[in-house]
Amino acid sequence: MPKGASQNQIRNRLKQNANADGPRPPPQRFRRGGGGSGNRWWNAYHLADRLTPSSATLTKLFAGLFAVIALIFLVRFVTLKARTARLWTPVPLPTLVPQNGTSAELSPDLFWGTYRPQLIEDGLEPQIRHWCEQSDRLRYSWDAHDGRNFGSQSIRDEEFAITTEFVKRPKMGGKGGDWTARISTKLVGVNASDAKQRQRSPILSVMFYFLLPDSTLGHLRGQTVDEQFRLERIQGHTKELGEFQVNFRPRTSGPVRYTHLSTYAPREDLIKETVMHRMTGSPDGTIGLTGRSNMKIENLFVFQMTSMPEFQLEVSFESVSGLSDRQAAGGSLQGETFSREFSRHEAAFNRSLAQKFGATVANEKSSGFVRSALSNMLGGIGYFYGSSIVNSPETETTAAYWPAALFSATPSRSFFPRGFLWDEGFHNLLIGQFDPEISRDILAHWLDLMNVNGWIPREQILGFEAKAKVPGEFVVQPDTKCESAYAFSGSGTATPYLTRDGAGKADKEFLRRLYPRLATWYAFFNTTQAGLLPGTYRWRGRDSNKVHQLNPLTLSSGLDDYPRASHPTDEERHLDLLCWMAMASRVMAQIGFAVDAPDWRKFSATWESLRAESHLDKYHWSEQLASYYDYGLHSERVRLERPQPPKLKPGQPPPQTPPKKIRRVDVEPRLGHVPGFGYVSLFPMLMRLLQPGSPRLGKILTDLADPKLLWTAYGLRSLSPQSSMYNRHNTEDDPPYWRGAIWINANYLAVTALRHYASQPGPHRETAAQLAERLRTAVFNNVMKEWDSTGFLWEQYEDRTGRGQRTHPFCGWTALAALLAVA
């Protein structure tokens, strides 16, 4: 309505109503409250209200509708706020890690350790080595590591051979005890007696730093000696450690230059940058540190020793509170005392290996491999602290999780130096066999990260140093993505005494505290990952809008690019997740029985229901394909195609890069089983759901052993060459991952499942036994061969040649090969 016509129209309506209805009472006078336009609008509104009876009803309807809409928005706002708060609220259950459970007082054995697995300890001028990087072309490996008291690591950097060793004495003084690290260097391929060769050899510079984080509220001060101002000692104090000192004891027979640095570093991820800014050249061509920075607060001390190998450096940490204990033990942990203690721990480690992994390994090389695989798993354990960055697409909220600690093994020191939830289940199959207490400690830390919904972030990126190793787009953890339930298996293997009478008092108490958290976690999986039909399951997080992916990823499953239904829908049914949930039900029933939980029979009934062959057949068996598969909306005729570039306007320059390939569907998808025989089809056997006499088991064993499908001379490939997705890129930049390569975690599950069926009476017993031994031999021999020739365990192995590929060293679940050393 035009602004100038509103009053005229009202007057016209007044006249029309007066003529129609006869005389009316005089209009009510309204008092002007200041003469503003708001008052004029109010007057006009009420005049119209009085003079049009139907508009009163409409006004009330609109007011009521407005109130309802406002209430809906208010309820939604309050609900979203509540859901958002639940995202970062811990589950209200007693924690498994006691308060201050990782302190020097309560956990002296594990207080100090090699808990920054992403580091190596040598420096090579002019390039400084600090973080493990695959591009460095270094060979580094723990030769021995017991996870507690001692370790020895070998580093090969071109012609330099460097050995780092450590020994701990945790009982010295009750403040975390003493430790000593010894760094030894030598030249390889150089005749030490040939003066010309030695003169041409580059020198090596080793830096050892000691950082006291601001959170300790402590202080450091250094002591120097001789004309080079060599840093001899650091003295310091914190509330937890009390008074302590760090002593530097170098040994060399040749020329040497000492420098040091005392300065302030705000965070551990800035240490290298801080050191680089305080380096300078010298007349002899070496690069050294500049001494004191004259900052008010100095929390970083760096000792530098530059010489031509061979030389050695011992760094010892001593707690002042442990003086009397140290004297009773024969003095400081240096020189001959260090060597003697190292030898004592090494002998105990070797005895434990023989006892727990079998003394009858094939030969010395096999024994050395087992020792290396276990040591690198234990040496890859890290301690992290910080807050995960999480979000909930449902509430469109991104925020920080509560600050928490994580004690966890890591898949790869160079590429994945952080905690991964489903990897951890496999890690603890090995760790739990060697040291169940460490395994339980790891499990406790992980389950204490559970929020009130029962969700645990699948990838833990805690602290600035961890975040510095992860691309920004992968830092945020959405709560729609949970990780595979195989960590439930870690719960079982860490507690192998799952009977009412088999557990000790302390172990049973741990199980009793563990059970409510596992039950909450189980409920989270059982509700958030449920399928449309009872007893079916669907991984969440698949995104059909990722048009650059040939097959939308299923990261939650752990089998990232394994082929699933080409078109994600709510009607999908994922076979592997059903089998994981069946296995989790079995573990819950076992633990519940062990601790006399009143609901253990419920989990036992679920296990029997999910494993029933009739249930598996109903939802996942394909008569046409004669095997178990996923179900969903799927087309086999899918490809990546580069779209045509847009037409250019006159004078417009062409784009520098062509448009990325996008997914094209040549044949419309249909609901049905998703073809492509691979690891997922084996899951009813891998999780031991099938009965020993089942014909379905016999069919799976036949297919498993078929070289045209999964069998190779090096282990089981992840996807059959007959699959349309075999070895195909998922984007033009992402090579195949779970589309043909051999993965050791899946092969380990296959060997152990085959051994299980070989131990059960039935028609497939002998076949399972033969396949178990053939597969064990193939996997172990190939992994050991590649380790022997390259020095690394690898993330995966090429199915046609057996060569290691992708991330290395990968001492996570590939180290499970150590459990296959003995028949």
Q: Which residues are marked as active site?
A: 560, 795
Q: What is the DSSP letter of 659?
A: P
Query: Cβ contacts of residue 93 below 8 Å, gap of 6+?
Result: 516, 517, 520
Contact 692, 615 (CB under 8 A): no
Burial string for 447-468 (b: 16+ CB within 10 Å, else e) reads bbbbbebbbbbbbbbbbebbee
Query: Which two three-digit tokens encode residue 649?
Result: 């306007």
Contact of 146 with 349, CB cutoff 8 Å: yes
Cβ contacts of residue 176 below 8 Å, gap of 6+?
104, 108, 111, 112, 170, 240, 241, 319
In order of 230, 317, 439, the CA distances from 247 in angstroms are: 12, 7, 33
Helices (DSSP H) in 277-387: which residue ranges?
323-328, 335-357, 364-379
DSSP state of 476: -
Residue 153 has which token pair?
């690591």
Q: Rg (Cα) of the chain, in Å, rounded?
A: 34
Number of alpha carbons in the 13 Å side-chain half-sphere of residue 290:
11
How far apart CA 463 and CA 722 sit, in angstroms, is 45
Rounded Cα distance between 679 and 703, Å, is 11
Cα-flanking dihedrals φ and ψ of residue 382, to 5°? -125, 160
* Euclidean distance between CA atoms 780 and 536, whole angstroms: 36
Return the bridge partners of 663, or none: 640
Measuring CA to CA, how many Å separate 196 from each of 161, 201, 205, 257?
20, 9, 21, 21
The Cα 186–Cα 205 span in angstroms is 12
Phi-psi label, residue 160: left if phi above 0, alpha if psi -120 to 50, beta otherwise: beta
* DSSP code string of 217-239: --EEEEEEETTTTEEEEEEEEET
